[in-house]
Structure 1
Amino acid sequence: MKITTWNVNSLNVRLPHVQNFLADGRTDILVLQELKLDQDKFPAAALNMMGWQTVWSGQKTYNGVAVISRSQAQDVHTGLPLMPDDPQRRVIAATIDGVRIINVYCVNGEALDSPKFAYKREWFAALTAFVRDEMSRHDKLVLLGDFNIAPADADCYDPEKWHEKIHCSSEERSWFQALLDLGLTDSLRQIHPEGAFYTWFDYRGAMFQRKQGLRIDHLLITPALAAVLENVEVELDMRALERPSDHAPVTATFAD
């Protein structure tokens, strides 16, 4: 089984890229973030015609998450129970072929002194509580998406420049560690303990061409899946396309 996360930064713009990725048979489950589409604008019919099943939580202009799979999703849930009044569509969970998928578009936070950072702090606490509860009921679980956190200096092209800045602050990294402390494994680091594997490259400054990015897109997995993990790959060719997302997809491969 192959499971992929991809922040597409507008599905309207990137739909052909997504369709080609699916048509090439590069994954079995694809989760998307930053759809930037109203709920009724999601291209479900076009994807269904290709043989894919879809569940999604849309939001115009901002946010929005989706799960696309060969098999029908079961037990679909959206949002975080501890934040029932949060209008931002950032979480969708579903069970597919016995694997619990939790797709997240985590809060950016803007800057450490921003009110949006306080929201990010509250949101990650609510996410951690939700994942803890989900793990109590699902042996095979993947928490994946755009976390907007680079967990370590190795996940940043210039640690000195980004030191204690948004995405790379000690506090944010402690939130990421709190998720790992639930019993989850950072799948990419299980396969590649060292090295630079950036997933996001700023459009400005030719950062992709200069290979200067951050690793902020992750797949965190339970022990049952870590035991059968075979590979994790950052699909950089999709970032090299014309009119790409600023994120590259990340795919984890598990033994059947």
Structure 2
Amino acid sequence: MKIATYNVNGINSRLPVLLKWLQNAEPDIVCLQELKAPQEKFPIDEINKAGYEAIWHGQKQWNGIAILSKGFEMTEVQRSLPGNEDDNQSRYLEVIIDQIVICCLYLPNGNPYPGPKFDYKMEWIKHFKKRTKQLIDMDLPAILIGDFNIIPTEKDVYKPERWKDDALFQPEVRKAYSQLLKNGWTDAIRTLFPEETIYTFWDYLYKAYDRNAGIRLDHILLSPYLRSQLMRGGVDKEVRGWPKSSDHAPVWVELDRK
């Protein structure tokens, strides 16, 4: 089973890129973030023609998430974090596919730091941590997948000294990510590539992609139940170089579900 995450940065404006990548990469399950489309504007007809079913939680402007499935039935669990049901931002979607709990997330950016947006980010993380603990305690096959808006370590950023005042790289959020790993979650990509320089986002400015001046924001975390099923994974970096592409690249893993 091939599972991927992709911050599309506007699903309708970048639909040709998404459809091309789906055809080339052939993932079974895809978690999308930053749809920038209200619920009724999600391009479900085009997604269906590409061979995928979808569950989505749209929102105008900056948010919105979706989960696509090819050949697997999906059951929606929730589209907000427990205890955070009053949050009006579309940032979390949880479904069950092939007996796996898929938690698609678009964690808040938090900039400018400090400020109310960073406070909202930390509050969101608090609710998220509670849900991840529940999944660990229940010993479920589960995946936390999406745009975490967290740079976990200095290894995950080009010139880390330039990010010391950015909400993506603050000690509090890095500690929260590290705590997930201590609690039993496996960072799939870093496990497969422990020493390599791997980025998933390159800014549009200053030829960041051409210089490989990137950061790693998009993560796939596996619960202990799934750790032994991890086979391979990677970042489809070349997609970032396609015309009119997102500033993120798709990230994927393959699990042995036999």
> TM bucket by the smaller chain?
over 0.9
Q: Alpha-carbon deviation of 1:100?
A: 1.0
Deviation at 1:148, TM superposition (A): 0.6
Contact 2:103 2:143 in 1 (8 A): yes
Correspondence 1:207 to 2:208: yes
TM-score by length of 2: 0.95
Q: Give the secondary structure class of the aligned counterpart of 1:11.
A: coil
Q: Distance in 1 between matches of 2:80 and 2:215?
A: 26
User: Match of 1:73?
Assistant: 74
Whole-Å Cα distance in 1 between the matches of residues 161 and 47 of structure 2? 43
- What is the identity, as a one-letter code, of the residue corresponding to 2:210? Q
Change (3 A) 1:245 1:162: same
Aligned residue number for residue 167 of structure 1: 168
Alpha carbons of structure 1 residues 128 and 21: separation in structure 2 relative to 1, 3 Å: same
Q: Distance in 1 between matches of 2:137 and 2:79?
A: 18
Could you tell me whether the CA contact under 8 Å between 1:229 and 1:255 is conserved in 2? yes
1:15 equivalent in structure 2: 15
Unaligned runs of 5+ in 2: none
What is the CA deviation profile of residues 8-64 of structure 1, one whole-angstrom value per residue up to 9, with x for unaligned ones? Answer: 000011111111222224311011000001111111122122321100000011200
Residue identity over aligned pairs, in percent, reads 38
Between 165-174 and 98-107, the greater mean CA deviation after superposition? 165-174
Contact 2:139 2:224 in 1 (8 A): no
1:109–1:120 CA contact under 8 A, matched in 2: yes
- The answer to whether the 8 Å contact 2:111/2:166 transfers is no
Q: For the Cα contact (< 8 Å) 2:6–2:251, is it kept in 1?
A: yes
Letter in 1 for 2:179: A
Aligned to 1:4: 4
Q: Say how many residue pairs are matched.
A: 256
Which of 209-218 and 16-25 deviates more? 16-25
**In the alignment, which residue of structure 2 is the partner of 1:37?**
37
For 2:26 and 2:238, locate their aligned partners in 1 and report how far apart those are by CA, in whole Å. 12
Tell me, in whole angstroms, the C-alpha distance in 1 between the residues paired with 2:158 and 2:25.
Answer: 31
Q: How far, CA to CA, are the matches of 2:207 and 2:195 in structure 1?
A: 25
The equivalent residue for 2:237 is 236
Cα shift readout 1:49-101 (whole Å, capped 9, x = no counterpart) = 23211000000112000000111211331011221111000000101112111
1:52-201 aligned at under 5 Å gives the runs 52-70=52-70, 71-137=72-138, 139-201=140-202
Report Cα offsets for 1:127-156 as digits up to 9, x if no partner: 111222234446211101001111000001
RMSD over aligned CA atoms reads: 1.3
| SS of aligned partner of 1:13 | coil
TM-score relative to the length of structure 1: 0.96
Pairing 1:50–2:45 present? no
Partner Cα separation in structure 2 for residue 81 and residue 100 of structure 1? 15
